[in-house]
Amino acid sequence: MADFSDIRRALERQLAGISGIPQIAYENTVYNPEAQTSYVRCMLEVTTQRPAAVGVGVETRHSGLFLVDCFVRADDTQGGPLAADVLAEKVMDGFTYGQVLTENSKRIVIRFSERRGGRNDPPWYFVPVTIEWYCYF
C-alpha cells in the first residue's frame, strides 16, 4: 500500500512557503473563513499508480493533482476578479515545470501548474489552480 503523506507534506509546505499566500484551508479540517479575508483551499488527488517498467520489484510511478482554489470576496471593491487572479498567479509561480520537492527521500516532480476560469460561490469568488505532480517509489 502506498503512503502519500510525504507527498502531501511536500506540496502543502511548498504552498505555505509562497510569499503573499493568505490563510490555507487544509483538506479534512474545519475551516470557517473570516468575512473579509482571502484564503486558499487545497486538496491532494492521486490519479494513477502504475509500474514504471516491466518486471518484478520495479518502482511505481504515482501521479496526481494538487488542487488549490484561490478565494476572495465576490463583492471585492479592490479590483473585482483581479485579486483572485493575482493570488492564482502566486500559486502557479510557486509550482513550476520541473521543480523537485523532496520529503523523506521522495522526490516529487512538478509537471505543470495552470488556472481555470473563475467562479462565483457567494459570498466568494474563486479561481481554481491545478498542479500536476509525479513521484516514483
Q: In the structure grid, which three cell numbers stand for residue 58, read together?
A: 520495479
Q: Which CATH number fits domain 5-136: 2.40.50.180, 3.10.180.10, 3.30.2000.20, 3.40.50.10800?
A: 3.30.2000.20
For the ranges 2-11, 93-102, 108-117, the lowest mean pLDDT is seen at: 2-11
Map out the domains of the chain as residue ranges.
5-136
Task: Decide if pLDDT at 1 tops 60.
Answer: no
| Comparison of pLDDT for 2 and 95, the residue scoring more | 95
Report the length, in residues, of the chain: 137
- DSSP assignment letter at 122: T
pLDDT digits (tens, 9 = 90+) for 108-118: 999 999 999 99
Write phi, then psi, for 7 (nearest 5 degrees). Answer: -65, -45
